[in-house]
Structure 1
Amino acid sequence: MKISFKGAHYPKDVILHAVFFYVRYGVSYRDLEEILAERGVTVDHATLNRWVVRYSPLIALAAKSRKRTVVGSWRMDETYIKIKGEWAYLYRAVDKFGDTVDFMLSERRDEAAATAFFRQAIDGNGLPEKVVMDKSGSNLAGLENINVLLVLAGLLCLAIEICQVKYLNNRVEQDHRFIKKITGPMLGFKSFRSAQATLDGIETTHMIRKGQLAGRALPAHRQFINLAG
């Protein structure tokens, strides 16, 4: 699906290059405003924020639909993100080779949130054969809910193997580091929507960095821009 830039007062490439730069390098909006001004592009920090909130989720949606197929052994975990001074939870999963499976920001860390994450990840990637996680009771309950649904649908043979061994989950915990490296200098977010949109962009650039999208020979910013269609 092609993303519409109707009504935008700047060229598509300028907008998407600015969004890419923000979500890939974690600079502040005011710093990005200054960087762009040095390159002859005059745009204020509030407009930059609107671009990220508007376009980053659409780019992430395109990336999820176009990324290479993940394998059936997943590592799942959540990490913390500060929004308006309060902690929120970024649910994430990678496959056994480190490719991003899916991600979801939630205001809560509980069974309902874990179930919603697994539903989303399965809708986008199909059923895994196995999921490795830590000893979290809510994550276990969330995946058990998925297995109950499979049993009720007469699909017991597709029930997902659950493996709660912390040291096997090192791959996803290490994968969190790239996300935290970018969000750390941002010093928290002012709204859930802004956080969600920014994380969509950060996760997309991380998938590009890992070579999960077509056109891997292209520069990262060009792969990002090409996702807009």
Structure 2
Amino acid sequence: MSHRTKRPRKTLPTGIAKVLKRLHYPLEVILLCVRWYVAYSLSLRDLEEMMAERGLLVDHSTVHRWVIKLLRVFEKAFRRHLRPVGTSWRMDETYILVKGQWKYLYRAVDKAGKTIDFLLCARRDTAAARRFFEKAIARNAAPQTVTVDKSGANLAALQAINAERETPIKIRQNKYLNNLVEQDHRSINRRVRPMLGFQNFRCARIILGGIETMRMISKDQMLAPKGNNPSAAKQFYSLVA
């Protein structure tokens, strides 16, 4: 049966309400599809079939539209509830296929494995690495130590940043110590694999931001009221509360 009939919705924050204004499906269906897409190794057609099994006629292109419209709002809301990260960072980049070409997802975690930040870049060079570090520092404050691999570009980016700082960041180049972030890439790559590459850079950035947000929630990086221990799903849905 079709669920295109409008239903009354609870009062939502202005930003969320504006995005949902023309999405004529039950809110719980929209949120479920968006969460499943970023949390699990599912394609859009997988979700279309799963919804059909539940009597919900939702085209895969409709799910994609929900994903693109909502994930930016979710990521922005999540940033307001992010726990502080450690001051010892591990930074590395992984490959992401966009429109048939490899692009580079810069990522960093602290020594406890908590995600610090991420940035999708078209190139893998000193300028891209510096943009990533500047973004991560602006959001989290400067670390005491950053561990990178033997990449000359990453080293040069950190040295350029240190040249402008009174207190330099300690730089370590150690592949063994950087295994932590390399292992963490796997969860992102595993989720991206069923997508068979992104069609454009904008969609890639939005969807990767949603995947990273869901991953951080699963790592318990979202602040919750004292005494509460909500599931990752409830934390994700709370971002529209």
Q: Give yes or no for TM over 0.5.
A: yes
With over 3 angstroms needed to count, the CA separation of the structure-2 counterparts of 1:228 and 1:145, relative to structure 1, is: farther
More helix by share: 1
1:97 counterpart residue number? 112
| Runs (5+) with no aligned partner, structure 2 | 1-12
1:228 counterpart residue number? 240
2:8 counterpart residue number? none
The CA distance in 2 between the partners of 1:46 and 1:22, in whole Å, is: 13
> What stretches of structure 1 move > 6 A for 4+ residues in a row?
none
State the 1:57 CA deviation: 2.2
Which structure has the higher relative contact order (CA within 8 Å, separation 6+)? Answer: 1
State the 1:138 CA deviation: 0.9
Using the TM superposition, name which of 103-112 and 210-219 deviates more: 210-219
The CA distance in 2 between the partners of 1:218 and 1:7, in whole Å, is: 30
- Residue 32 (1) aligns with residue 47 (2): yes
- Residue 197 (1) aligns with residue 212 (2): no
Alignment of 1:201-212 (within 5 A): 201-212=210-221
2:81 maps to amino acid: R
User: Which SS does the other structure have where 2:83 is aligned?
Assistant: coil
Instruction: Indicate which of 12, 16, 21 corresponds to 1:3.
Output: 16
| Runs (5+) with no aligned partner, structure 1 | 151-155
User: Which SS does the other structure have where 2:171 is aligned?
Assistant: strand
1:161 counterpart residue number? 170
Whether the 8 Å contact between 1:74 and 1:96 is mirrored in structure 2 is yes
2:174 maps to amino acid: V
Root-mean-square deviation (CA, aligned residues, Å) is: 1.6
Number of equivalences: 223
The CA distance in 2 between the partners of 1:176 and 1:137, in whole Å, is: 20
Whether the 8 Å contact between 1:53 and 1:193 is mirrored in structure 2 is no
2:9 counterpart residue number? none
State the 1:7 CA deviation: 2.8
Instruction: Indicate which of 18, 33, 36 corresponds to 2:33.
Output: 18
Whether the 8 Å contact between 1:67 and 1:212 is mirrored in structure 2 is yes
Instruction: Indicate which of 143, 149, 166 corresponds to 2:164.
Output: 149
| Deviation string, structure 1 residues 91-140 (Cα, Å, up to 9, x no partner) | 00000100000011111111111111011101111111110000111111
2:193 counterpart residue number? 184
TM-score normalised to structure 1 length: 0.92
